[in-house]
Each structure stands twice: as structure tokens, then as C-alpha cells.
Structure 1
């Protein structure tokens, strides 16, 4: 592996670790926890991301890129199996745990986000709009569903529920997502959990 590829791999490991730490501990978690999970020294973290804001920006770009890629895969699959494509998209967005990451991504207003985040957000929004349009055409979701409200609702449903243990409310997130998805259907029928 060449030096450039090694540096890129290390940078990606830091971003992946930051996503995991922010998901579990919040976006104000100590950066040494990120460095530890990424298996790099804190100095290496700061060489790659001089400020917390730089790291949050990288996490935002990575997360939005993952959302866009999931929407792209779903959009391609809509032509052959729209129901499965839609379910796969929702499952992937839930897996990304957007609810835990959104506070780090939108701590301020959307207009204050870094230019690279805004650029990726626009491409992601366009792809999500097309995918939702395909789901609407297939009769899977209501005609008035907007991309931002869809993503934000999933984010709200998947945010950490620290006040409830899994023992008290088993399968809470999948159940909430299933109820939400049923509400999006034009006919209101329930979807399997």
C-alpha cells in the first residue's frame, strides 16, 4: 500500500470511528475516544482534522454520501422490484442511525453548514427526491411525501431512546418505523416489522 492510500485509509478510519462515537455518546464526545476507536493517536486525529468542526463536517459528508448511495441503489431497483427496493432503502437509513448523527450535522441552521456539506446535501436531496417519486409512482407512499420530512422523521424515530431500555420496550425502533411506514402508504395498510 502506498503512503497516500495508507493516509486515506487512516482518515476514513477516523471518520468511521467518529460516526460510531457520535452515535453512541453524542457529538460532543471526547475526541480521544474517536482516536482510540480509530486506533490512531490524538495527534494523528488532529493532523487530519484540526478542529472538531472539521471532523463533524467529514462525518456529515460521509453520512450524506451513504444516504445518497442507498437512494441510488433503491432507485435503480425500483424498476424491477419497487417494494423490496423501498424496504431496503428504509432498512439502510435506519441502520445508519441518522437520529444519533443529525444533531452533529445540523447543530446550526442548514445555511450555516460547510460548503462541501451543502453540495453533498443537494445531490443527496435530488437522489432522494427521485427515489421517493419512484415509490410514489409505484403506489408505495403518499403523493405528498417530501424527502426532507421523510429523512427527518426517520432520524427522529431512530434517535437514541436512553430513557427506555430494550427490555422495557423490545423492538421499539423497528416498531416505530413500521408504524411510520404504514402511515406513509396511500392505503394506510400495515407493513411487516
Structure 2
């Protein structure tokens, strides 16, 4: 096997692991997310997972960076097309965040955990929030949000209403998340 194809295969496997881990973190609690389960979902052996990510903290860091890059893509697309239909693109951005599982992946934005997110994540997060401010300014210009709404307030509120509530709550109120996000969108408009 040629050296270039070995590296490409290793990059592909690394990305498979990151995507499988991110999906597990989106759908399950941290305590329910095992490295063995992630390896299985990624289609690799546990030794391959450990070769790429010697610790759970290393894997979480890679997932946090991947998560922010994904959100960055959503934001960039929204900013590019925003002026075509401001209301549709603003609400579409919010719903993409919800659908992607922003509430479950809150740890990617949080400092000070026992194994912290690290300066690379903090820098990317801070740049992302600065660019969300640009979107909020545009949305404010069109009356879609109160000019006082900041990116941290928006993120905090969205994270709180979209955190997984557990199977019992989902069974009792299957549409509660949708209703709460709808309430947020309406409340953010209030002057």
C-alpha cells in the first residue's frame, strides 16, 4: 500500500470515529456513550480508536472542533443567502441548530469542565459567536430579533430548551421541543 493511501485511509477512519462519536453524543447521555460503542458505530476496532484518540478527552476535543465547524457551515450558508428571504433564512438557521442537536452538544461550548475544551475550541467558539453577532444584527435590521439579543443569550436559551429531556418526557410531550423553540423565536422578536 502506498504511503499516501495509508494516510488517506487513516484520515478517513479518524473522521468516521469523530462522526460516530458526535452522533452518539447527540443522541445519548455521556454516561451511555462508550468508546466501544463509538468504535462499533465507526466500523473500526477499539485499538484503532485509541490509536487516533488516546483518551476520551482527546475524542471530545475532536468532536467539539467538528461540531463548531458544522455550525460554522450552517452560519456561512445562512449569511450568504440571508437577504434573499431574511425570515426564512433566520428561522431556518435556528431550526438547523435544533435539528443538529445543539442542546445535547453543549459541552463543546463550555469551559471549565474537569478536562476543559482547550484553547483551540475556545478560539473557534469565540469567532463563531462573533459571526453569529453579524447574523443577529442582520436579523435585527429586519425586525426578526430584538437588537439587545446577543449570541451568548441566544445560545444559552436555545441550549436550555433543546437539551434532551429523556424518554419519559418525550413520550408525554413529543412536540415540547418544537413548541419551546417556536416560543423562543417569538420572544426574540419582542422589542
TM-score between the two structures when normalised by the length of structure 2 = 0.89
**Displacement of 1:129:** 1.1
Q: How does 1:137-148 map to 2 (within 5 A)?
A: 137-148=141-152
Q: 2:137 aligns with which of 125, 130, 133?
A: 133
Residue 185 of structure 1 is matched in structure 2 by 189
**Displacement of 1:9:** 1.5
Unaligned runs of 5+ in 2: none
Q: Say whether residues 1:158 and 2:158 are aligned partners.
A: no
SS in 1 for 2:147: coil
Residue 191 of structure 1 is matched in structure 2 by none
For 2:156 and 2:10, how far apart are their aligned partners in 1? Answer: 34
For 1:49 and 1:67, how far apart are their aligned partners in 2? Answer: 23
Distance 1:166 1:26, change over 3 A: closer
Contact 1:68-1:123 at 8 Å conserved across structures: no
Contact 1:27-1:101 at 8 Å conserved across structures: no
Q: Say whether residues 1:97 and 2:101 are aligned partners.
A: yes
Residue 25 of structure 1 is matched in structure 2 by 28
Unaligned runs of 5+ in 1: 188-193
CA-based RMSD: 1.9
For 2:45 and 2:148, how far apart are their aligned partners in 1? Answer: 49
**Displacement of 1:60:** 0.7
Residue 85 of structure 2 is matched in structure 1 by 81
For 1:68 and 1:54, how far apart are their aligned partners in 2? Answer: 21
For 1:27 and 1:101, how far apart are their aligned partners in 2? Answer: 10
TM-score between the two structures when normalised by the length of structure 1 = 0.88
For 1:57 and 1:32, how far apart are their aligned partners in 2? Answer: 18
Residue 7 of structure 1 is matched in structure 2 by 10
**Displacement of 1:107:** 6.4
Contact 2:158-2:181 at 8 Å conserved across structures: yes
Q: Say whether residues 1:47 and 2:65 are aligned partners.
A: no
What are the superposed Cα offsets for residues 62-106 of structure 1, whole Å, 9 maximum, x if unpaired?
111111221111111122211111011011100121111113652
Q: Say whether residues 1:119 and 2:101 are aligned partners.
A: no
What are the superposed Cα offsets for residues 2-45 of structure 1, whole Å, 9 maximum, x if unpaired?
22222212111111111121222222422111111111111111
